[in-house]
Every structure is written in structure tokens, then in C-alpha cells.
Amino acid sequence: MIRACIFDLDGVIVDTAHYHFLAWKRLANELGYNLTLEENERLKGVSRMQSLEIILELAGISLNDSHKEILADKKNGWFVDYVERMLPEEIYPGVKQLIGILKSRGIKVGLASSSKNAQTVIRLLQIQHEFDAIVDGSMISHTKPHPEIFLKTAAKLGVAPSDCLVFEDAEAGVEAARAAGMKCVGIGSPVLLRKADKVFSKTSDFNLATLHELQTISN
Ligand code: BG6
Ligand code: MG
């Protein structure tokens, strides 16, 4: 039975994944590296420092820890600048309605985001009260694809992992959901997210018919 739906934030509820990309691309440019959209897929779902490590590896640059902290802070400053100008209307169409439908069916709704800015983003979107449990990047020790964030959210919701369905736009996130023993709906490319049970191009394409269909699939 699916008793809880756990949503990733960036790229699933709102297009902040794009703001992360813009800020990382700007940082990469300063380092003399041109970060592509394809390479950016590897940065999705993982922590800020892990993302920076990937960029440095791509660029073939090695830096000490304090220099890395400075660059990660710089990127975050730009990201926060983009996000602070965001309006509640930027939430993807249909997502609030979907959450409402799920809740009306007695399904619990959780948020599991690797971002340390997650609370700010959901406050700006005015959806902080929609979730029965929230776990963000400041509450975990292991980044996706480790299952920790989803297991923690399920525990907060009081729902067994096998009764949870995750919505994810990141390859690392889909892997984390699978590793947690949860079902997973991918949002984005069916090729990149092939480990998901179902893939849609947008979150609001998911409906109750898909929920019923997924109830019958074993994890
Ligand atoms: C994830 C994003 O949600 O949060 C990643 O998919 C991002 O791209 C990560 O790096 C960490 O975010 P923040 O806001 O803590 O830098
Ligand atoms: Mg995401």
C-alpha cells in the first residue's frame, strides 16, 4: 500500500534546479570551465560540497578545503539571490492541487530535499504547512544516493519505507529511493531516470490512476 508520498523539492515542486545550475555555471566560468546541462545532471540531488567536488573533478582543478568552502559559499550567495526574488506563483502548476488530493485520500506528504535552503524556498512558496514531515540538507549526514534522507522522512511520517512513494528529478535521488526500498516516480528524462517505476515530464502528470497502478507493483 502507498501510505505516504515523499517529494524532492528542487526540480519537482519548483524549478530551483535551474537556479542551482545558473549559479554553478557562473562559478565554473570563473574557474575557466564551461559546465554543460548534461554535466549538471550529476549535480542534481547531491549536497553543495559534493556538487563542487564534481565540478572541480570535471575541470581538473584541485583546491584545499578552505578554498572549497569559499567557492561553495559564493555559489550559495548567488543561488540565494535568485531564490529570494521568487514568487509563490513559481510553484509548478498542479503541484499544490496534487498534494491536496493526496492528503484528502489520507496519504501523508513529506518533503526530502538535500538543500540547506529548502526551508527558505518552501516559505517563499508559502507551502511550508502542506507537509507532514520535512527533512532537509542540514539534517542528514549522507547525501543522495544514500537512502538516509528518505528513511528519515518515512520515520518522521510514521510510515514503513515499503509504503512510501518518492517523487524525484535526480538520478541520485531515484537511486536513493530505490536503496530505501521505496517506489519512485521520476520527473524528467526516462533515459536518465530509468530506475524509477514511472517517469513523467512534469509532476502534475501524476494522478490517482498512476497511484493505483503503482499500488500493485512490488518494490
Ligand atoms: C539539491 C539539489 O536539492 O540540493 C542540488 O538538487 C543542490 O543541486 C543540493 O546542490 C544542495 O543545495 P544547497 O541549497 O544546500 O546548496
Ligand atoms: Mg531535485
Instruction: Summarize pLDDT for 131-182 with one digit per residue, the tens.
Output: 999 999 999 999 999 999 999 999 999 999 999 999 999 999 999 999 999 9
Predicted model pTM: 0.97
Nearest to 185 by CA among 155, 208, 156: 208
pLDDT in tens, 174-204: 999 999 999 999 999 999 999 999 999 999 9
Ligand 1 atom, smallest distance to 170 CA:
6
The answer, yes or no, to whether residue 219 has pLDDT greater than 90, is no
Q: How many angstroms separate the Cα of 67 from the Cα of each of 32, 62, 90?
A: 16, 10, 34
| pLDDT at res. 94 | 95
Does ligand 1 come within 6 angstroms of the Cβ of 156? no
Does ligand 1 come within 6 angstroms of the Cβ of 144? no
Q: How many angstroms separate the Cα of 82 from the Cα of each of 35, 74, 75, 110?
A: 19, 13, 11, 25
How remote is the CA of residue 169 from the centroid of ligand 2, in Å?
Answer: 5
Exposure string of 150-186, with b = 16+ CB inside 10 Å and e = fewer, is bbbbbebbebebebbbbbbbbbbbbbbbbbbbbbbbb
Positions marked active-site: 8, 10
How remote is the CA of residue 48 from the centroid of ligand 1, in Å?
Answer: 6
Tally DSSP H helices, then E strands, for the chain. 9, 6
Q: How confident is the model at residue 218 (pLDDT cuts 50, 70, 90)?
A: confident
User: What is the distance between the alpha carbons of residues 140 and 49, in angstroms, rounded to a whole number?
Assistant: 14
| pLDDT at res. 216 | 82
